[in-house]
Amino acid sequence: MPTYLIERNIPGAGDLGQDQLRDVAMASNKVVADLDVPYTWIRSYVAGDKIYCVHETEDVETIREHARCGGFPADLVVEVAAEIGPQTADG
């Protein structure tokens, strides 16, 4: 299944409190459950005025559907072409 990187513009995202982040995570889980298609939310990074998310699913449209249903902005959605790290240098 393809992996997608999603950039969400949210002014003040870095200032969101624990309670708000929990609400956001609950909302996302609920949408994932309701979508009824293969969908995995892998991880998200909250930084400055952005949230960057890594999700796995069949296609871009499903990523957008998840965003619309949950009320998450999705300003940029790109498929991950490759994953590299320090160990890639060894390969």
Residues that bind other proteins (CB under 8 A): 8, 10, 13, 16, 20, 23-24, 27, 30, 34, 51, 64, 67-69, 71-75
Return the percent helix, strand and coil in the chain, to nearest 5: 40, 30, 30
CB of 38 to other proteins, least distance (A): 21
CB of 73 to other proteins, least distance (A): 6
Residue with tokens 């200032």: 15
The answer to whether 74 and 5 have CB atoms below 8 angstroms apart is no
Output 1 or 30, the one with its CB closest to other proteins.
30
d(CA 30, CA 66): 10
CB of 90 to other proteins, least distance (A): 40
